[in-house]
Structure 1
Amino acid sequence: MLLTRRSVSNLISSTTFRKIMTVYPSIDIAQRDDSVVDDYHGTKISDPYRWLEDPKSEQTKKWISAQNQIFDKYLQDTDKSLVDREKIIKDLTAMMDFEKVGAPFKRGRDNHDGDHIAYYYYKNDGLQNQSVLWKKNSLEPDDKEEVFLDPNTLSEDGTSSLGATSFSEDGHYFAYGVSSKGSDWQTINLKKVSDKQELKDHVLEYCKFTSIAWTHDSKGFYYTRFPKPSVDEEGHSLGSEVDKNENQKVYYHLLSKPNQQDDILVYSDDSHPTWMYGLEVSEDGKYLIISISESTAQVNRLYYAPISDPTQPLNVIKLIDNFDAEYSYITNTDDLFYFMTNKDASLKKVISIPLSDPNQVTEILPQHSTDPLQYVVPINENNLVAVYTHNVQDVIQVYQLQDGKYITDISLPTIGSVIGVSGRRSDTVLMYKFSSFTYAGTTYHYDLNTMQQKVFHETKTSSLIKSGDSFTVKQSWYQSADGTKVPIFIVHSVDTVLDGNNPVWLYGYGGFNIDMKPAFSVTRLFFIQQFGGIFAMPNLRGGGEFGEEWHKYGTLQHKQNVFNDMIAAAQFMISENYTRPEKMWINGGSNGGLLVAAVINQKPELFGAAVPQVGVLDMLRFHKFTIGHFWCSDYGCSDKKDDFEFLIKYSPLHNVKHDAQYPSVLVTTSDHDDRVVPLHSFKYAAELQYRAGPNNKRPLMIRVETKAGHGGGKPLKKVIEESADTFTFVANELKLKYLQ
């Protein structure tokens, strides 16, 4: 089955095409360059697909085109008696066609022009590619609403989306970032609120992971940007979408000086090129707070600067000048600042620090005995609203600001998650949205004075989505390889018979202290309804569901725990008679893509299909591209000998087996992903096809999306098409019958 090697200019022979188009095994179709060898602390590691790291080369483009042709032909030749992609698109589109509304947030201040105090919220009428920013003057149901900014007008194909956004303190101006084709890079624009007029002279470029922090005089804002890329003689950028992102700096932009070249550099530190800055103007407008990070670890330095003349370099004062804990600003009363921190508190707590004597730290909300503190909102002058997570289910509680005295719980309708919490200290009303696996969501506003809760918007889903009582949602616990008990959410129809023959979608993440909590998803319910499936989501170590200790034991030399937890989850689903390997598929994206690829390398026999999406798959070189160096806190770095020793043991690219039967694999990525750059997926797919493909009985493929990035801001049309392709692949490989 393995053909002789071809030059890159002849990537696929006609014989290869005939073979692929008849039985769909993936085979060696990419040229290998075995001369590329790196020395890692005395260990030689070859990198035969180094050429796929250049996204602009003709060689790479030809390879992508060839791979997409293979997958497109695969879709055309699927068994239509089992599943029809066009019908999936039609039905999934119909199921997604309902109004979706986010939690509103108030902007403008009562001590300014009242005409500019308004409530804003994002709404999608049903099938809009991007959600639209709407505006109302009050929270009353009969108050007139109007479109404030429609991102769907920013591009013809819906691939431009909103990034960072911020209203001026007086509510007169709106600064917003625009991302193109899914890129993390943004261009900041400005518009007037009163007449929605675009201030077209204000265009700020080279922004990525930026903050926008207005000074309270509303004359301008602080923001961050990277250096302008160099250009050649014809004006073309010499920078690459895979280059490292370094030397971010803090600038101040004046409304009176629209040209970006006139922006004032107010803070930078060239001695630390990998540092990145989060900016926030204190609630009283007197200070700029600078949070400095060098990784995704839950640690940061915390500096502040009094704001007098924002056009001058800042007098930066170092409040916390090490990376030993995380400090998140909540609010302040004069020079008494309140922070959420994990300093000596793995589940987090709230403290106060007077700037006049930073050593006088006072605990306001001590660490909870079991439940992680997720975030805190100051409101109603003297209250704190705290969101805790109890056994991966959210709880909202209200406390006094000064002494942390408990006041009350805010009741929630069922087991689920709180999202979009908003409110300011000057407000009396808290706004938030609640949803769960089968509950599409209701947006509430809660009055702290009356302790009364009202509905702002209740989501009414498509009639094609069954009611919540048609599904069973439960949380079970299973044992991982080292004896650790791990929770797993399981969702299925109430009439599902646990006979070991049900299709199961096993989804996981397990990293970066990120929680996997109950959330409403049309695609998950689609799988349950249309294929009689079961959705299962374990809360793997590496996540933040149980605080920093849970996270820590899924990082660095402990990363194998995450894979063991996922393997044990699959074994649990089999042992409890939910399914069998031939009917189970494993899926995850980004860090979850790493999870999927590592697990099928280690236990390919547990699954019938696998879909790793936009995954981090080359663990020896991830830190060399864009923002990858930020992930070394979770993964380690191959530049260090000790880290290399554990990275090489699980790196998906370097552990593909040639003597094992892999499940059917569909690797997915996007051509404009400048976070987890697509070269990870390219190289892994090529290695999988070369090493496992010749003897594998099932297809090993890759799908490369165009005009898309890591996932944020992806147009709904592309979301539906990618979901349809995935379901078609999975159903065809697992022999699932489409039920309607």
Structure 2
Amino acid sequence: MRKYSLLLLAIFGANSVNAQEDKYLWLEDVDGEKSLEFVNKLNDATVEKLSKEKDYKLIYDKSLEIYNSSDKIAYPSIQGNYVYNFWKDKNHERGIWRRCLLSDYKKGKYNWETLLDIDELSKKDNKKWVFKGASGLRPNYTKFLVGLSNGGGDAVIIKEFDADKKQFIQNGFYMEEAKGWASYVDENTVVISTSFGEGTTTDSGYSRMAKLWKRGTLLKDAQLIYKGKQSDVGVWSGVFHDENKSYVYFSRALTIFSTQKLFWHNNKVIALDIPDDSQINGILKNQIIVQLKSDWIVNTKTYKSGTLISLNLTELLKGNKQIQVVIEPDEFSSIAGVSTTKNDLIVNVLTNVTSQFFIYSFNNQKWSSKKVDAPNLGTLSIVTTDESSDEYFFSFQNFITPSTLYAANTKTSEMKVVKSLPAFFDASKYEVKQFKAKSKDGTWIPYFMVAAKDLKTEGKNPTLIYAYGGFEASMEPFYTSSYGVAWLENGGVFVLANIRGGGEFGPKWHQDGLKEKRQNVFNDLYAVSEDLIAKKVTSPKHLGIMGGSNGGLLVGVAFTQRPELYNAVVCEVPLLDMQRYNKLLAGASWMGEYGNPDIPEEWDYIKKYSPYQNLKQGVNYPEVFFTTSTRDDRVHPGHARKMVAKMNDMGYKTFYYENTEGGHAGASTNDQSAKLNALTFSYLLMKLK
């Protein structure tokens, strides 16, 4: 055993302060025989227990019916004259990639043509392939670079595909499995960032190089155009388009929130003189669209954090800054998305956590705008735009309104419904309310509550809070199809909390939860929880929380800091060992969010909340349900494994389920998703009703 531990230390690194004291380190060996034995034993026990709950079979059947429904919306991706779509149902477990003519799609004539059957390919190759998208060659889009993951992880192989012949191109562009991607520069050239061999990836496991690769040559002979440092998060490359012009770009991520933006222009690298923490949202009419994440002072003028600006690209490449303000959100708003059509900019503005669309046109060197009369009191999302016209598709949804796909045009006010999801549950019985809870430092935290109209406030309603609280990711209203049939129809109350760390109110809302301010995020969750209890919606006996990834860390902290508040915790694909998170898989890339535990001053604040390190004997913890995936190559499954092992050895009961594939999403097929749903909600109903 001692020899085995030393081997693991050599593999995973021993420079974490207490790595040698961690007796569960062996569980970080993802595919180790002993690790998988541990996993299988716990999986069997969890399935054995929860599958016997009275609601399990019904939840599984209803969830699978939703996932496999032929009435789902076939969301379009416009590329050339076609609409492309990836589709799963009961006959296509791993899915098919297909297309139909755009002109037919707009008429409701879905003459789908299957291009690639992932189930057939998986059988042929004896792999568990998961489709990870395709990047096409403009303007005709007859060739594509297709990404495939074995098991659903982030690492992919890339194979070139001929859409007309419906087959992979023999001796076409091919990238071995890696966390990378490639984009066409022209028919015979791609720009690629991947692993090019030993020493070519960063500490986070991403590429540190960008290369131009010519057709018919070996990848190892591709032209190096940029090289970052091993300590960088990574180097990513791609191609921006502005009508008939193309620009090869690459970004060198210094941290997850600080990225140097570079263009390959006239056969040389040009660093754009814009803030490292800003975000590029495309190019339109020679205006490069940039969203600011902090105040930027240029020639004594301050452009405020959160503002969307544009700069003349030709001048910027010369080192000159000609700046125009597109939109400056107020304190209750943030920019949730930016898209371009042939002539216009579509800006999705989030105000008090509901969406509005604005169309911006650039004429006579000035921006003008108009508001789109789209549905309100919910979430709007751009689905796809047409680079050759001003047509676009968008979706609308809220908690009790099924997702609906619309077709629209930036030049007209006309829009029409293309398709709506069927109502998978009777939403007429429920209502949505928005409240605010006061956090420990006095900040008001909004949250949505979905509950029966005749809700009794006697403190006995089973209530589930979902939250995330990180990486500037906004939690917006969504149609609760599976939550509706599994939770609302079983008497549950659903709450979505808009805690700090997210982006609901702009960059500052996120920054108030970074690093040493992380406790604000946890306090916000407690404030929402206590507000629901004070309103007698629920009580600790009937209150549960759920979160995944960074949200898994959130709920892991919550049950270790405030165990008396919750009777159920669903902790999905979580980070939990914050002393070693930066040594595991992509963990080093998140130090901009959490801090570096190897720096004593930063470990001082991380160690106060790290769930794995803060487990104590003799505490009345809730019986937590942990989920993860063996094939998650983003957040290491060792976090959940080690936490469960430590808790069980301390005498605490837990539930644990680790899907053998699925990557960070946790599931690869509709059946796997339905099973996970059934396990999760059976657990919640068992604990909270």
Same fold (TM over 0.5): yes
* Match of residue 375 from structure 2: 413
* Match of residue 43 from structure 2: 68
* Match of residue 218 from structure 1: 187
Contact 1:444 1:454 in 2 (8 A): yes
Residue in structure 2 matching 1:717, options 660, 671, 689: 671
Residue in structure 2 matching 1:338, options 260, 279, 289: 289
Shift of 1:550: 0.5
* Match of residue 310 from structure 1: none
Letter in 2 for 1:341: L
Counting only pairs closer than 5 Å after superposition, residues 28-427 of structure 1 correspond to structure 2 as 46-75=21-50, 78=52, 80=53, 83-98=54-69, 99-108=71-80, 117-125=81-89, 128-130=92-94, 132-137=96-101, 138=103, 139-142=106-109, 144-156=111-123, 159-169=128-138, 170-202=140-172, 204-206=174-176, 208-215=178-185, 217-228=186-197, 244-257=204-217, 260-261=219-220, 263-270=222-229, 274-283=233-242, 284-297=244-257, 299-306=258-265, 314-320=267-273, 323=276, 325-333=277-285, 336-344=287-295, 345-353=304-312, 354-355=315-316, 357-370=318-331, 371-381=333-343, 383-402=344-363, 403=365, 405-427=367-389
1:198-238 residue CA offsets vs partner (Å, 9 max, x unmatched): 214336334555343222x42232121013469xxxxxxxx
2:31 is paired with a residue whose SS is coil
Shift of 1:712: 6.7
Shift of 1:687: 1.7
2:245 is paired with a residue whose SS is coil
Counting only pairs closer than 5 Å after superposition, residues 648-727 of structure 1 correspond to structure 2 as 648-691=607-650, 693=651, 696=652, 699-711=653-665, 714-727=668-681
Contact 2:137 2:143 in 1 (8 A): yes
2:402 is paired with a residue whose SS is coil
Shift of 1:95: 4.1
1:664 is paired with a residue whose SS is coil
Inter-CA distance 393–153: structure 2 relative to 1 (3 Å threshold): farther
Letter in 1 for 2:183: A
Inter-CA distance 650–272: structure 2 relative to 1 (3 Å threshold): closer
Contact 2:282 2:340 in 1 (8 A): yes
Alignment RMSD (CA, Å): 3.0
1:60 is paired with a residue whose SS is helix
Shift of 1:129: 3.4
Contact 1:181 1:709 in 2 (8 A): yes
Letter in 1 for 2:234: W
Shift of 1:682: 1.1
Shift of 1:159: 4.4
Contact 2:263 2:270 in 1 (8 A): yes
Counting only pairs closer than 5 Å after superposition, residues 587-598 of structure 1 correspond to structure 2 as 587-598=546-557
Alpha-carbon distance in structure 2 between the residues aligned to 1:715 and 1:103: 18
Inter-CA distance 317–68: structure 2 relative to 1 (3 Å threshold): same
Alpha-carbon distance in structure 2 between the residues aligned to 1:495 and 1:433: 30
Contact 2:373 2:413 in 1 (8 A): no
Tell whether 2:501 aligns with 1:504: no
Letter in 1 for 2:684: V
Alpha-carbon distance in structure 1 between the residues aligned to 2:222 and 2:552: 40
Alpha-carbon distance in structure 1 between the residues aligned to 2:368 and 2:589: 38
Counting only pairs closer than 5 Å after superposition, residues 557-596 of structure 1 correspond to structure 2 as 557-596=516-555
Letter in 2 for 1:430: Y
Shift of 1:39: 8.1
Shift of 1:167: 0.9
1:430 is paired with a residue whose SS is strand
Alpha-carbon distance in structure 2 between the residues aligned to 1:249 and 1:686: 39
Inter-CA distance 532–244: structure 2 relative to 1 (3 Å threshold): same
Contact 1:506 1:586 in 2 (8 A): yes
Inter-CA distance 531–252: structure 2 relative to 1 (3 Å threshold): same
Letter in 1 for 2:79: R
1:137-174 residue CA offsets vs partner (Å, 9 max, x unmatched): 21222363323334343325994222242110131211
Inter-CA distance 412–676: structure 2 relative to 1 (3 Å threshold): same
Shift of 1:722: 0.9
Contact 1:440 1:520 in 2 (8 A): yes
1:446 is paired with a residue whose SS is strand
Contact 1:100 1:126 in 2 (8 A): no
Letter in 2 for 1:318: A
Alpha-carbon distance in structure 1 between the residues aligned to 2:48 and 2:83: 49
Tell whether 2:398 aligns with 1:436: yes
Shift of 1:574: 1.1
Shift of 1:562: 0.8
Letter in 2 for 1:142: K
Structure 1 residues 450-459 or 417-426, which shifts more? 417-426
1:129 is paired with a residue whose SS is strand
Structure 1 residues 527-536 or 120-129, which shifts more? 120-129
Alpha-carbon distance in structure 1 between the residues aligned to 2:415 and 2:489: 37
Residue in structure 1 matching 2:576, options 611, 617, 620: 617
Shift of 1:302: 0.9
Contact 1:511 1:543 in 2 (8 A): yes
Structure 2: 5+ residue stretches without partners: 3-8, 296-303
Inter-CA distance 124–39: structure 2 relative to 1 (3 Å threshold): closer
Letter in 1 for 2:280: S
Shift of 1:87: 3.2
Inter-CA distance 143–68: structure 2 relative to 1 (3 Å threshold): closer
Alpha-carbon distance in structure 1 between the residues aligned to 2:254 and 2:232: 9
1:367-415 residue CA offsets vs partner (Å, 9 max, x unmatched): 222321122222242x221111011111101122245544322222242
Alpha-carbon distance in structure 1 between the residues aligned to 2:110 and 2:39: 51
Scaled by the length of structure 2, what TM-score is found?
0.89
Contact 1:213 1:281 in 2 (8 A): no
Aligned residues: 662
Counting only pairs closer than 5 Å after superposition, residues 423-502 of structure 1 correspond to structure 2 as 423-461=385-423, 465-502=424-461
Shift of 1:243: 8.2
Alpha-carbon distance in structure 2 between the residues aligned to 1:435 and 1:270: 43
Alpha-carbon distance in structure 2 between the residues aligned to 1:624 and 1:594: 16
Inter-CA distance 571–61: structure 2 relative to 1 (3 Å threshold): same
* Match of residue 533 from structure 1: 492
Scaled by the length of structure 1, what TM-score is found?
0.83
Structure 1: 5+ residue stretches without partners: 1-6, 9-32, 109-116, 231-238, 308-313
Letter in 1 for 2:321: Q
